[in-house]
Chains A and B, each alone.
Chain A
Amino acid sequence: MNEKAMRKSRWITTVFLIIIIGITYLSAMITKFNFIDGIATLPKALSWIFANLWITQETWERLPAILGKLNETIFMSIAATTLAAIISLFLGLMGSKTTKVNNVFSMLARLIASFSRNIPVVAWSLILLISFGQNSLTGFLALFVGTLGFLTRAFIESIDEASQSAVEALQATGATYAQIVNKAVIPQSLPQMLSWILFMIETNIRSATLVGILTGTGIGYTFDLYYKSLNYNAVALVTFTIVIAVIIIELISNRIRKVIL
């Protein structure tokens, strides 16, 4: 019985693999993407990168300005994530099976979550660009909306997973909703939630660059400016600072995670 099931699952895996290979081949054909050609251009691309993307002496002078923009971007990401986290906490409590107040709010919370999550952040930037124009509010909102959906979804799962049984026990003692949320749900799921928030800050700093290119804000705008003026040395420096910043943020959040989990 068990072996049969296992053999069946192995069979399914093989079928899937074949299907995936088939689809890859098909899509390559449709888009006229040639693997051989693609690989052949690689050395050329690399040599271009090494030839042009150098950080030269004079570009270092631009560093303070770049760092200023980078700072702005990082803080915008953090601000967008934190604000989204606060609202997601409420939506998460409403959406979770364990802590929902009624089905209408629960549905609403889940709807908002899936709506904002299933539209990519780039699409949000473009949508918001039309209504708000090219300014930092647009970038902020794009990150905010995308984060809201993701965090709500993650919080709903954290709450359900972490505190279902304790919630039941506290309901049975006659505790009120606010007592249950504050003394059982939050203490139990907070570390997991903080971990998701840190993850989202990391993600948002990365997406902020792309969003910035589209909405004309922060480091993305700087990148775009240098890129369009063919100042590839400065582009290299901008890229370099972004990479360093992302690595530092990741190190910090890993450290925080270790402490809280």
Chain B
Amino acid sequence: MSLLQVNNLGKSYNSETQVLKDVNFTVETGEFVSVIGPSGAGKSTLLRCINRMVEINEGKVIFNNSDVGSLKKKDLRKLRTDIGMVFQHYNLVPRLTVIENVLHGRFGYKTTLQGVLGRFSEEEKEQAFFLLQKLGIEEHAYKRCDQLSGGQQQRVGICRALIQDPKLILCDEPIASLDPNSSKVIMDHLKSITNELGITCLVNLHQVEVAQGYSDRIIGLRKGEIVFDGKSALLREEQINHIYGTERRELITV
């Protein structure tokens, strides 16, 4: 059974526009998949349907053999501990320290009281430091997050996702706010997460070249519909034009 199955997924925020239309795909364990498409195509929405940060309207999302759409509150929390999420704007608590932000990733495993009191076991703290070290930011562990550069903050975000011990990591444009150097560092880390730890990654990207360079497979989304789904090598100029329509040509000429 695949790790993630999306069947006939449909989503609309209001009655006028259908954001996702009959989306079908599966993701196997250990795959690195990119989702590309023009702005407003529904990439963020698609990702948020998978951990049900937005409600699913039609169809089904099956993750790790459970039907995401029908889960009750408590089971949904449980499911979310298995899915890490990395954001374009990092979404950390800026006034708190790096290590505190990383440990936030453990809340899903704790009772409310343990979380509120900030009780973390020795192993959890060790794991947090191990991850910070792995991403090369352990010397900043006790700094406030708002004192870190964008690239460093994104690495904190990745640590927070990893400490959840997830089976899948969803990344919503993880490098859209970063310079080329930091972008490469972040993408290399994400790639090694999949290669070394076997954690599946589903990444929304704006840059086609980056998607081609890093992913096993690319999903092209246009106006809420999948118009390409295949090996990165199969994505040619023709398909790219199809995904982006005229918008891409405009982007290049400006």
List residues of chain A with CB under 8 Å of any chain B CB: 163, 165-166, 168-176, 178-179, 182-184, 187-188, 191
Q: List 15 A-B contacts (CB under 8 A).
A: A168-B53, A172-B53, A172-B80, A173-B84, A173-B107, A173-B164, A174-B76, A175-B104, A182-B115, A183-B115, A183-B116, A188-B93, A188-B94, A188-B96, A191-B95
Contact indicator A166/B116 (Cβ below 8 Å): no
Does B92 interact with chain A (Cβ within 8 Å)? yes
Q: Beta-carbon contacts of B76-114 to A below 8 Å, as 1s and 0s?
A: 111111011101011111111000100011011110100
> CB < 8 Å: which of B76, B83, B160 contacts A169?
B160
Does B230 interact with chain A (Cβ within 8 Å)? no
> Shortest distance in angstroms between A188's beta carbon and chain B's nearest beta carbon?
5
Number of interface residues of B (CB under 8 A): 34
List residues of chain B with CB under 8 Å of any chain A CB: 51, 53, 76-81, 83-85, 87, 89-96, 100, 104-105, 107-110, 112, 115-116, 118, 157, 160, 164
Contact indicator B107/A179 (Cβ below 8 Å): yes
> Shortest distance in angstroms between B59's beta carbon and chain A's nearest beta carbon?
21
Contact A163-B93, Cβ < 8 Å, known A172-B53, A176-B112: yes
- Chain B residues near A175: list those with CB within 8 A: 77, 104, 107-108, 115
Contact indicator B112/A179 (Cβ below 8 Å): yes
Q: Which residue of B lies closest to A178 (CB)?
A: B112
Contact indicator A187/B91 (Cβ below 8 Å): no
- Chain A residues near B84: list those with CB within 8 A: 172-173
Contact A188-B91, Cβ < 8 Å, known A173-B107, A174-B80, A179-B107: no
Bound-state CA distance A184–B91 (Å) is 10
- Chain B residues near A179: list those with CB within 8 A: 107, 110, 112, 115-116
> CB < 8 Å: which of B76, B94, B96, B160 contacts A173?
B160
Bound-state CA distance A74–B79 (Å) is 52
The 8 A-B residue pairs whose C-beta atoms are closest, nearest first, are A174-B108, A175-B107, A174-B80, A179-B115, A169-B91, A172-B85, A165-B91, A174-B77
- Chain A residues near B93: list those with CB within 8 A: 163, 166, 183-184, 187-188
A170-B104, A171-B80, A174-B79 given; 10 more Cβ-contact pairs under 8 Å? A169-B87, A169-B91, A169-B92, A170-B107, A172-B53, A173-B81, A178-B116, A182-B115, A183-B100, A187-B93
